[in-house]
């Protein structure tokens, strides 16, 4: 959630509004930009692939250490 910078004033009508309000009580405009949440870097598909690769390598190292 990205709250507009001037939280104490409506960016549309410049009227005073309560900080954290979702809608301006004066003009009714939404004050919170609806953005699709970007997944954090460590949860991206690329990192999931890297994790599985690392897990596979650890498994292989474990198996080799058991054999030799």
- When asked if residue 22 is in the footprint of Zn ion (CB under 5 A), the reply is no
Residue number, 23 or 61, with CB nearest to Zn ion:
23
Residue number, 13 or 58, with CB nearest to Zn ion:
13
- When asked if residue 27 is in the footprint of Zn ion (CB under 5 A), the reply is yes
Phi, psi of 9 (to 5 degrees): -130, 140
Residue number, 6 or 52, with CB nearest to Zn ion:
6
- When asked if residue 24 is in the footprint of Zn ion (CB under 5 A), the reply is yes
* Cα gap 65→26, rounded to integer Å: 70
């Amino acid at each position: 959630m990205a709250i507009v910078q001037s939280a104490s004033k409506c960016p549309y009508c410049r009227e005073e509004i309560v900080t954290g309000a979702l809608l301006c009580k004066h003009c009714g405009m939404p004050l919170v930009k609806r953005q699709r949440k970007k997944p954090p870097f460590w949860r991206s598909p690329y990192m999931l692939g890297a994790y599985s690769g690392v897990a596979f390598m650890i498994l292989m190292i474990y198996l080799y250490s058991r054999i030799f």
